[in-house]
Chain A
Amino acid sequence: AQKVTQAQTEISVVEKEDVTLDCVYETRDTTYYLFWYKQPPSGELVFLIRRNSFDEQNEISGRYSWNFQKSTSSFNFTITASQVVDSAVYFCALSVGGSSNTGKLIFGQGTTLQVKP
Chain B
Amino acid sequence: DGGITQSPKYLFRKEGQNVTLSCEQNLNHDAMYWYRQDPGQGLRLIYYSQIVNDFQKGDIAEGYSVSREKKESFPLTVTSAQKNPTAFYLCASSISRPGTGQGNTIYFGEGSWLTVV
Contact = CB atoms under 8 A, between A and B. Distances in A.
The secondary structure that dominates the A interface is loop
Given A43-B110, A104-B45, A33 B103 contact: yes
Contacts of A64: none
A52 B100 CA distance: 14
Given A45-B108, A103-B33, A110 B101 contact: no
B96 interface: yes
Interface string A30-66: 0111010100001111110010100000000000000
A91 interface: yes
Interface residues of A, number: 28
A95 interface: yes
Contacts of B106: 35, 47, 95, 103, 105
Contacts of B44: 107
